């Protein structure tokens, strides 16, 4: 009887070891699959982040170019206004002349006439 009990116990231990090995193998496979999934997701996120940063950088560069262009246009407009408008001052000169300063040059206008249409 003890031989029979020993055989049953040995068979039980063997089946238990096999079940345990199978469970361990299953867990290892699931762990590998999970790790593979995590790595793939991290790679996808990193790619999207890199694309987003590249787009952001491109937009920032475009904004900087537009700001520089606007600054130049504003400076040109100010120069143009300065040239076109000049600075006019009606001085109480004895001859009634109007003095106009354009780009640092002074001009005197002694006679006025109505503009032709």
Give pLDDT, residue 78.
83
Q: Are 52 and 38 found together in one domain?
A: yes
Give pLDDT, residue 106.
75
Q: Are 65 and 46 found together in one domain?
A: yes
Q: Are 48 and 94 found together in one domain?
A: no
Confidence of residue 17 (pLDDT cuts 50, 70, 90): very high
Per the structure, the count of domains in the chain is: 2
Q: Are 93 and 45 found together in one domain?
A: no
Distance in angstroms (rounded) separating the CA atoms of residues 53 and 89: 55
Tell me the torsion sign for CA atoms 63, 65, 66, 72.
positive
Q: Are 28 and 55 found together in one domain?
A: yes
- Strand runs labelled E in 1-117: 87-90, 98-102, 105-109
Distance in angstroms (rounded) separating the CA atoms of residues 48 and 60: 18
Residue 107 domain boundaries: 86-116
Report the pLDDT averaged over residues 55-66.
96
Write down the pTM of the prediction. 0.47
Q: Are 69 and 53 found together in one domain?
A: yes
Q: Are 52 and 98 found together in one domain?
A: no
Give pLDDT, residue 80.
78
Q: For the segment 64-112, what is each residue's pLDDT rounded down to a tens digit?
A: 999 999 999 999 888 877 766 655 554 555 666 777 766 667 777 766 6
Q: Are 51 and 70 found together in one domain?
A: yes
Q: What is the mean pLDDT of the chain?
A: 84
Higher pLDDT, 41 or 92: 41
Locus of tokens 């246009």: 73
Cα radius of gyration (the chain):
45
From the number of C-beta atoms within 10 Å of its C-beta (0-12, 13-18, 19+), residue 97 rates as: middle
Q: In terms of residues, how long is the chain?
A: 117
């Amino acid at each position: 009887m003890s031989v029979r009990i020993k055989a049953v116990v040995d068979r039980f231990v063997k089946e238990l070891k096999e079940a345990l090995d199978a469970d361990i193998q299953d867990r290892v496979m699931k762990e590998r699959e999970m790790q593979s999934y995590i790595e793939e997701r991290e790679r996808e996120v990193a790619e999207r982040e890199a694309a987003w940063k590249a787009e952001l950088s491109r937009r920032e560069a475009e904004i900087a170019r537009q700001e520089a262009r606007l600054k130049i246009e504003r400076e040109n407009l100010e120069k143009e206004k300065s040239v076109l408008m000049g600075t006019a001052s009606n001085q109480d000169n004895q001859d009634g002349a109007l003095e106009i300063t354009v780009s640092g040059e002074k001009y005197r206008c002694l006679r006025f006439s109505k503009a032709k249409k």
